[in-house]
A and B are shown apart, each in its own frame.
Chain A
Amino acid sequence: MILKTTIQGFSSAVKGLFLTFRHLFGARRSRQSVDIRKPEYFDQQEGVTTVQFPKETMPIPEVARYQLDVDIDDCIVCDLCAKACPVDCITIEAVKSPEVIGKTSDGSVKRLYAAQFDIDMAKCMYCGLCTVVCPTECITMTNKYDRSTTKLTDLIYGFGEMSDAEIAQRKAEWTQYQAEKEAAKKK
């Protein structure tokens, strides 16, 4: 009994030692990145798998869905993305405009100014729901994923392009328009 266990243990230890020995010498090469659909994908059993990240990166698909990006010129400030977001990482503040501002690239009419369009990447969970609901497809996921910062607040990305003075001016324009409308109603 004890003899059998000992011999078994010894032989399995030797087997294990040969296995690690193979890997020790297999570590002279690095593993190549192979498409998972290729039949030889599972043939690579040895070789270093480490990717030394900042110096080399793993290939990612062109249509990768990582960090969000907003093309603010196409945004109609409909607030749908902020409503769809499960973690509420998108903050949008709209300023109404008395007349049509312009048109997006797909022909939608813009009637609102985006005074604030912030996405908190620290909260974002990369679900992509905002990109689905966006009517003008201005909020998209990009292939960028490495934007390390030393400050947490640097992870709040502001996409709004308006300066404070401009915002104040647009707000004033809207209040004036409202006042004019009220005045016209009273007449």
Chain B
Amino acid sequence: MSQLFIHIIVPVAIFGFIALFTLFAVYAERKIAGFVQDRLGPMETGKYGLLQTIADILKLLQKEFITPKAADRILFAAAPVIIFGAVYIGYAVIPWAPDFLPANTHTGLFFIMAVVSIDAIGILMAGWGSNNKYSLLGSIRAIAQMVSYEIPVGLSLIAAVMITQTLNFNEIALQQGVMSPEPVFFLGIWDVSNVGGFLAWNIFQAPHLIVVYVIFFIASLAECNRAPFDIPEAESELIGGFHTEYGGIRFAFIFLAEYAMMFLVAILGVVLFLGGWNTLLPNIGALKLADWTTGIGWGIFWTLLKSLTIVGVQIWIRWTLPRFRADQLMSLCWKVMIPLGFVCMAISGLWRILVMV
């Protein structure tokens, strides 16, 4: 019985977190956009516009369901559910703290890649089901982009997994700190098993993973259709891309999925490359900073801190760089990131064989 209760409370808690995060992130996005452009952002609703996103969501919830006459009713109605569901299920294997994750599976990374790919089908359903030329163009672009960028994401994940030798997120995170069951080497030379901190993170265990992380980060921006890779939405060319015809609570779900995806790829990068829930602070002699700042509470704190920083960087990039042209997007993926990904994968193999014996 209590097991059943846990099975209900965990998804609800994750959904609550996603909703809360979206409200916060939209506010942050608008404020950062304002500040970058020497404006103030929302200021009227509540103190410093803090209630702006709550007002927005209330507006969206009140709106009526509108299905265009020519739309494919089933696809149109199912698409937001699939888009959000795909991202939401991905949270099932994300570790928040030591041994604190919804599902401790051995194939966590594989599962997340498989599930998040369904997102592309949802977007195609939304674009096709709307029966609108802009929506269809947007979703075709989205598919082309997401399918291409899945490859650099996959290659960078393989490069990381070759170092970690496991697909289990809990173990991947465990290997990057003071709680590691195996010895951890900083740059492959210095044993930092008892030092921990940022020195034990994957990107410092094998320094070529910094390049891999950059590839992963750029490709994951494209995966979640965010600027500068937002050609599927491209409001100036395609009105709103695949979600042109959506309104009200359906649009809210597509929006929620976009922000949930942002956080999901941020936390995925954090767990694989930036030490997951492991602390930033190393043990220095008698100052056992790493030991003191490890635990469930601290784990959640570090995960959130790192992931939200990455989300902040995503927002910062969005308001800095202009949108890529479709051909530039493809040439960046196929001519630059995939070859680089292969090289990094080869280096990972060599590193594993020659350095991390």
Q: Which residues of A contact B (CB under 8 A)?
A: 2, 6, 13, 16-17, 19-21, 23-24, 26-27, 31, 46-50, 52
Contact = CB atoms under 8 A, between A and B. Distances in A.
Of listed B36, B39, B332, residue having the most chain A CB within 10 A: B36
Given A2-B335, A6-B336, A24-B32, A19 B38 contact: no
Given A2-B336, A6-B336, A17-B316, A23 B321 contact: no
B336 A52 contact: no
A23 B38 CA distance: 7
Given A17-B317, A21-B316, 4 more contacts: A24-B32, A27-B36, A27-B40, A48-B40
Contacts of A50: 38-40
Contacts of A47: 38
A13 B321 contact: yes
Interface string B18-36: 0000000000000010111
Contact of A48 (B39, B319, B331): B39
Contacts of A27: 34-36, 38, 40
Contacts, number: 47
18 contacts: A2-B331, A2-B335, A2-B336, A13-B321, A17-B321, A19-B320, A20-B316, A23-B38, A24-B32, A24-B36, A27-B34, A27-B36, A27-B40, A46-B38, A47-B38, A48-B38, A50-B40, A52-B40
B258 to A, nearest CB: 21
B239 interface: no
Interface in B155-176: none
B36 A49 contact: no
B39 A49 contact: yes
B107 interface: no
A2 B335 CA distance: 8
A26 B43 contact: no
B336 A26 contact: no
> Which are the 10 A-B pairs with shortest beta-carbon distances?
A27-B35, A20-B320, A50-B40, A20-B36, A24-B35, A16-B320, A49-B38, A6-B336, A50-B39, A17-B320
Interface residues on B, range: 10 to 19
Contacts of A6: 332, 336
A43 B336 CA distance: 41
B188 to A, nearest CB: 27
Interface in B140-197: none
A132 B331 CA distance: 64
A24 B31 CA distance: 10
A3 to B, nearest CB: 8
Contact of B37 (A13, A17, A23): A23
Interface string B312-325: 00001101110000
A21 B35 CA distance: 9
A29 B40 CA distance: 10
Contacts of B331: 2
Nearest to A13: B321
A48 B40 CA distance: 7
A171 B43 CA distance: 57
Contacts of B317: 17
B330 to A, nearest CB: 12
A31 B32 CA distance: 18
A20 B319 contact: yes
Nearest to A6: B336
Contacts of A20: 36, 316, 319-320
Interface in B10-63: 32, 34-40, 43
